Amino acid sequence: MTSEVEKKYRRIEDLPSIGPSTASKLRELGFHTVESLAMATIRELVQAGIGEKRAFEIINAARASSSLSFIRADELIEKRQNILRLTTGSKKLDALLGGGIETQSITEFYGEYGSGKSQIAHQLCVNVQLPIERGGLEGGALYIDTENTFRIERISQMARHVGLDPQETFRNIILAEAYTSDHQMFLLENADKIIKENNIKLIIIDSLTAHFRSEYIGRESLAERQQKLNQHMHKLIRLARAFNAVAFVTNQVMSSPDVFFGDSVRPIGGHIVAHTSHTRIYLRKAGRGLVRIARLVSSPYLPEGECVFKITENGIEDVEED
């Protein structure tokens, strides 16, 4: 029965009540796959000129096809076994994260300039292509670059170090440069087809808040900024869950002038980003060398902790113990 449903609803046109005209309107709104419709809201479909009752039927059919429904806690254990973990390249950092960065959730790395956020993002683009037995996910990466930090030369160095052909590695990375916050949101909203067709197992936004921070200035624009950030991150988690992919975001920081003792650095985005990011890692330099300190700030089930690693020409590596 399940195979018949999956076969029947392979394309959005296969869903009940969706003709060519409706399908075209849905694609304009960024719904290219059955998986994305399964995660949609009725309000979003109404924007395509679909009535509420019909939208409800379409979403329910898509969810039935994607096996999204109420389940018992014991069934959840079996479903959680589908969650995979992506290695960072450092065994200690992987251990801090419970075995690596998990799929179907958002992992946020934040820190000051030069702390290594983009370096880790580059490393993940390479590692995701490794076999599962080596900590990879045997898939591609979608990299949304908001600060012009992506460097093909760095990918080449890291790929060679792990034994991958650089040219083949390049082909498995889809890059999109976002020029504004609206453009950034548009890219993600229209990413479902690219994710499905290219076996994307890693979605990166580097950095999440750069455009929002520069475009929404002052208290009067704070509410609108937070609303859009909330919408953006919820779209990201929907995609990660629909395609069993890692969602990895980097974030900028600011100093809190009211903190007189301890570390005054805090990430941009306030409670919206804090609540939506499932796992948060704070990165900082350890002196002027290659060593970085990663602190697990929050996680649904992992204890807080710290580890050290280093960023070398080869990429992310463990620090040798004496």
Q: How far apart are CA 251 and CA 273, in angstroms?
A: 9
In this prediction, residue 8 has a pLDDT band, given cuts at 50, 70 and 90, of: low
What domains are defined for the chain? 2-65 (1.10.150.20), 80-318 (3.40.50.300)
- Report the pLDDT value the prediction gives residue 28, as an integer from 0 to 100: 81
52-102 pLDDT, tens digit each: 888 888 888 887 776 555 667 776 666 677 899 999 999 999 999 999 999
pLDDT at 256: 62
Q: Could you give the CA distance from residue 279 to residue 38 in angstroms, rounded to a whole number?
A: 25
The answer to whether 318 touches 92, Cβ cutoff 8 Å, is yes
Task: Give me 202's structure tokens.
Answer: 């890693």
Eight-state DSSP code of residue 319: P
Q: How many CB atoms lie within 10 A of CB 210?
A: 21
Q: Are 237 and 247 spatial neighbours (Cβ–Cβ below 8 Å)?
A: yes
* Side chain identity, residue 52: E
Which structure tokens are listed for 171?
């082909």
Structure-block tokens of residue 191: 């990413």
| pLDDT surpasses 50 at 196 | yes
